[in-house]
Amino acid sequence: MAGTSSVAAPLASCTAQAPTRIDMAGGTLDIWPLAAILQEKFDLWNAPIETVNLAIELRAEAKVSLRPAQSFSWEFEDKSLGRSTAGTTLLQNDAADFVLHRAVARLYKNELLNKGYGHVTIETNAKAPRGSGLGGSSSLVIALLAAFNKLLGKQVEGTELCRTAQTLEAGILGNLAGNQDHFAAFFGGLRSVHHTAFGSTTTQVSSDLDTLAKHLVLAHSGQQHFSAFNNWLVLEKVLTSDTAVLERCAAIAKIVPDMKRELQNKNWHAVARLLSAEWDIRRTLAPGIVTPMLESLYATAIKAGATGGKVCGAGGGGVLVMMVDNPAQKSAVEVALRSAGGEVLDCQPAHRGVVYS
């Protein structure tokens, strides 16, 4: 019976960290069933529809601690937001301000009780700004799932863990959820996520990530975005057979193989141009994807020497990723973006996905 283990469980804890990501090409295509619709309507079955992203060291961290108890309760703390329930015993339906923490903890409730662990403490911290479009919430869910599985001694295959994370986020949002963020968070590196009727899988894209990062500039607009809203506007048009939006989504899908090739060839000028080519299409998918602040930051970066760029995620705020042909130009672009009100972020590549301590 749950909570009646004959041997008292010791205190146990695990800390897991997972990176966020820059989506280089093919974002939104990871939302089911968009890829399947595009493959059918535009005869794109000859190759899988893909999303390419780069994991970066703006990590989400989750520390999970377990304590013996006969009934289930929890404590949560989010250090990046300065919120905590410490000192208050919360039962399983409490903590509405910690929906991600609560959803993952609930998932393992019965297994924990069977092992004698009834009290869960979760402490989280995130380096990426909230609502940045870098996949921070997905990284947090992956870190939480990884920590729980490690504590429970469960060997879960990465693709399965990513599928679980996507399902949890869809339930939490009560809306659409893609999966590219989860693959970047779990596996790290530069990756292609393949979307087929058999499900989504991922492979590594060979390139020089450290050199690529020297050409990249990340700037937060200061505006939080809500990805589910803009993504829903796009998918609604797709599901109602809006020909123009369907054609634009197909055009984005056709850019991805070119992006992969130029990343593999380390042709940074071509990569920059493809970022802009995708952005020129993406910005027309739905109203609200572009904001005056994003427009201003983009124009400022180009004027300061950037060759191309785009907005990460679903737009409506968040982070702009720009590229320069010569790393010596990067500093001037960063200075210009700061002067225009942008917050320049670290874009060090994450060669590894989930790490434990």
173-213 confidence digits (pLDDT tens): 787 788 999 999 999 999 999 998 888 999 999 999 999 99
Radius of gyration of the chain (CA): 21
Distance, in Å, from the CA atom of 165 to the CA atom of 4, rounded to the nearest integer, reads 30
CATH code matching the domain that covers 12-205, chosen among 3.90.1300.10, 3.30.230.10, 3.40.50.300, 3.90.110.10: 3.30.230.10
User: Model confidence at 96, in pLDDT bands (50, 70, 90)?
Assistant: low
Where do the CATH 3.30.230.10 domains begin and end in the chain? 12-205
Q: What is the pTM of this model?
A: 0.92
- In tens, the pLDDT along 36-76 reads 998 888 877 777 899 999 999 999 999 999 999 888 888 88
State the pLDDT at residue 41.
84
State the pLDDT at residue 228.
73
Q: b/e map of 233-272 (b: 16 or more CB within 10 Å)? A: bbbebbeeeeeebbebbbebbebbebbbebbeeeebebbb
State the pLDDT at residue 309.
97
**Residue 90 confidence (pLDDT) above 60:** no
User: Model confidence at 317, in pLDDT bands (50, 70, 90)?
Assistant: confident
CA distances from 254 to 34, 200, 277 (A): 14, 18, 11
Among the listed ranges 32-36, 266-270, 303-307, which one has the minimum average pLDDT value?
Answer: 32-36
State the pLDDT at residue 42.
83
Distance, in Å, from the CA atom of 166 to the CA atom of 172, rounded to the nearest integer, reads 10
CATH says 209-345 is which class?
alpha beta
- Count of residues making up the chain: 357
Q: Which of 57, 58, 99 is nearest to 78 (CA)?
A: 99
Three-class DSSP category at 277:
helix
Helix axes 136-151, 99-107, angle to 10 degrees: 30
The runs of H, that is alpha helices, within 206-329 are 209-214, 227-239, 243-265, 268-282, 292-303
State the pLDDT at residue 232.
83
Where do the CATH 3.30.70.890 domains begin and end in the chain? 209-345
